[in-house]
């Protein structure tokens, strides 16, 4: 017996409709904001991610799915941003389009220790706006993320906001941290001891309680931001205020990847437990240039679909929506039933039937399980009378009509 690998899931049909809802709502919402879909490959040169996310980031250090091919090293994508920037540069989109707004949906791969809300194959819904440094774009993108959650019928989330500043500001923050934490390394967890040397900003958003205690004592505020970055951050906050979007300025929010600059944000939900981030994003104003493209700013975010589904309490009740279930009794009725089934489907009505000729009771049970709206019954009696019985599953009412396609369509419209 083969089993799926740990941290990868089968999304079975009974759940797929929830995924389709999330995808449909996303597409509709993104198009309102002018985002177009992009579909980069799931596999890239591994070096692209190392260069973009940073050699010392957790993803590069521990979580890459790598595939060796002769002298080349490929990776299953752990996130979408690097591929999209690569694609923007490689397809010369700066010349063709300049400023672009893209969205993407699809699987990502990280070799993590699987637990609730943390998988090895999970799915992102994300956006990237490439080609502008305007603070208005940060406001628009955070508003889009919030609106998207509302459209998914998700409430009770928190938006955490911070500004990391430009690369010089990040260096300033790292040096302040190094000075302040030097005498306190013993109180840090094993991972943060390594982070202290390799990626000190990451110590700030460590979830470990002992690290939090140590960090609490370090005064982190906007003092590290240069004047331009301060102005940018003020504009973002004012813009969010004017749209009445609730957010919390969280100076400890740093995000783990090298490419982030200026605005970073994370959207959390208490119902998720330890892995509480529904989604996250931020600016990456130097990445396009870093990867060989023009010197232009960019910003994006991604939600994890599995986590959205963990907190989404209302479903749209699409199960069996409008479904018609046909039950036939006897060989002759079966042949006539198949003709009716085919013609209803060709007229865009969703129909299902019992292929195994079960008893009437068993077939009714299946119709119920599928959430059928109507059941059509055709037996000896109906054939003799030249009718078909329609049962309305909501009211229980039954009526007999001619088994004529147009007549049936009229009766079965719900």
CB of residue 253 to ligand AMP, shortest distance in Å? 11
Residue nearest to ligand AMP (CB): 304
CB of residue 123 to ligand AMP, shortest distance in Å? 8
Structure tokens at 203: 């110590």
Closer residue to ligand AMP (CB): 297 or 304: 304
Closer residue to ligand AMP (CB): 269 or 373: 269
| Half-sphere exposure for 269 (CA within 13 Å, toward CB) | 21
CB of residue 203 to ligand AMP, shortest distance in Å? 17
Closer residue to ligand AMP (CB): 52 or 132: 52
CB of residue 282 to ligand AMP, shortest distance in Å? 9
Subset of residues 269 to 328 that bind ligand AMP, contact rule: CB under 6 A: 277-280, 302-304, 306-307
Buried b (16+ CB within 10 A) or exposed e, 224-237: bbeeebbebbebbb
Closer residue to ligand AMP (CB): 110 or 160: 110
Subset of residues 72 to 111 that bind ligand AMP, contact rule: CB under 6 A: 79, 110
CB of residue 119 to ligand AMP, shortest distance in Å? 4
Beta-bridge partner residues of 392: 374
How long a stretch of residues is the chain? 414
Exactly one of 17, 73, 99, 118 binds ligand AMP (CB under 6 A); which one?
A: 118
Closer residue to ligand AMP (CB): 38 or 327: 38
Q: Are strands 351-353 and 36-37 parallel, antiparallel or unpaired?
A: unpaired
Closer residue to ligand AMP (CB): 101 or 307: 307
Closer residue to ligand AMP (CB): 117 or 320: 117
CB of residue 32 to ligand AMP, shortest distance in Å? 22
Do residues 168 and 226 make contact, with C-beta atoms less than 8 angstroms apart?
Answer: yes
Exactly one of 103, 122, 152, 260 binds ligand AMP (CB under 6 A); which one?
A: 122
Closer residue to ligand AMP (CB): 112 or 352: 112
Q: Which stretch binds ligand AMP (CB under 6 A): 117-125, 147-155, 222-230, 403-411?
A: 117-125
**Distance in angstroms (rounded) separating the CA atoms of residues 257 and 275:** 18
Structure tokens at 113: 């220790």
Exactly one of 21, 23, 112, 411 binds ligand AMP (CB under 6 A); which one?
A: 112
Q: What number of chain residues touch ligand AMP (CB under 6 A)? A: 17
CB of residue 215 to ligand AMP, shortest distance in Å? 20
CB of residue 204 to ligand AMP, shortest distance in Å? 15
Name every residue whose Cβ is closer than 8 Å to that of residue 337 and which is 6 or more positions away in sequence.
326, 328, 353, 376, 378
CB of residue 71 to ligand AMP, shortest distance in Å? 29
Closer residue to ligand AMP (CB): 257 or 344: 257
**Distance in angstroms (rounded) separating the CA atoms of residues 392 and 370:** 14
Positions that interact with ligand AMP (CB under 6 A) = 79, 110, 112, 117-119, 122, 124, 277-280, 302-304, 306-307
């Amino acid at each position: 017996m083969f089993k799926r690998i740990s941290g990868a899931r089968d999304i079975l049909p009974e759940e797929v409709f929830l995924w389709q809802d999330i995808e449909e709502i996303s597409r509709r919402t993104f198009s309102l904001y002018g985002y177009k879909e992009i579909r980069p490959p799931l596999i890239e040169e591994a070096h692209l991610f190392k260069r973009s996310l940073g050699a010392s980031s957790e993803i590069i250090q521990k979580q890459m799915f790598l595939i060796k091919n002769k002298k080349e090293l490929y990776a299953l994508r752990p996130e979408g941003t690097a591929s999209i920037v690569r694609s923007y540069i490689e397809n010369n989109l700066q010349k063709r389009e300049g400023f672009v707004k893209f969205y993407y949906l699809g699987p990502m791969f990280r070799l993590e220790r699987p637990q609730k809300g943390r998988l090895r194959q999970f799915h992102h819904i994300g956006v990237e706006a490439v080609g502008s440094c305007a603070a208005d774009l940060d406001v628009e993108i955070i508003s889009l993320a919030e609106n998207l959650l509302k459209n998914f019928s998700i409430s009770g989330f928190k938006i955490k906001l911070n500004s990391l500043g430009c690369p010089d500001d990040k260096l300033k923050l790292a040096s302040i941290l190094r000075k302040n934490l030097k005498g306190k390394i013993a109180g840090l967890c094993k991972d943060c001891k390594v982070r202290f040397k390799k990626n000190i900003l990451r110590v700030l958003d460590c979830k470990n309680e002992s690290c939090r205690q140590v960090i609490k004592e370090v005064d982190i505020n906007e003092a590290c931001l240069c004047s331009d970055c301060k102005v940018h951050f003020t504009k973002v906050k004012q813009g969010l205020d004017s749209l009445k979007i609730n957010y919390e300025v969280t100076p400890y929010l740093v995000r783990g990847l090298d490419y982030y600059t200026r605005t970073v944000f994370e959207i959390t939900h208490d119902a998720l437990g330890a892995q509480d981030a529904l989604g996250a994003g931020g600016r990456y104003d130097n990445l396009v240039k870093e990867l060989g493209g023009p010197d232009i700013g960019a910003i994006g975010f991604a939600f994890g679909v599995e986590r959205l589904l963990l907190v989404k309490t209302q479903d749209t009740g699409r199960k069996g929506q409008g479904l018609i279930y046909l039950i036939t009794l006897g060989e002759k009725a079966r042949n006539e039933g198949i003709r009716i089934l085919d013609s209803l489907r060709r007229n865009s009505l969703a129909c299902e039937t019992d292929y195994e000729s079960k008893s009437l009771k068993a077939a009714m049970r299946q119709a119920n399980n599928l959430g059928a709206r109507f059941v059509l019954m055709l037996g000896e009696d109906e054939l003799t009378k030249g009718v078909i019985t329609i049962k309305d599953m909501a009211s229980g009412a039954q009526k007999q009509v001619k088994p004529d396609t147009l007549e049936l369509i009229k009766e079965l419209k719900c």
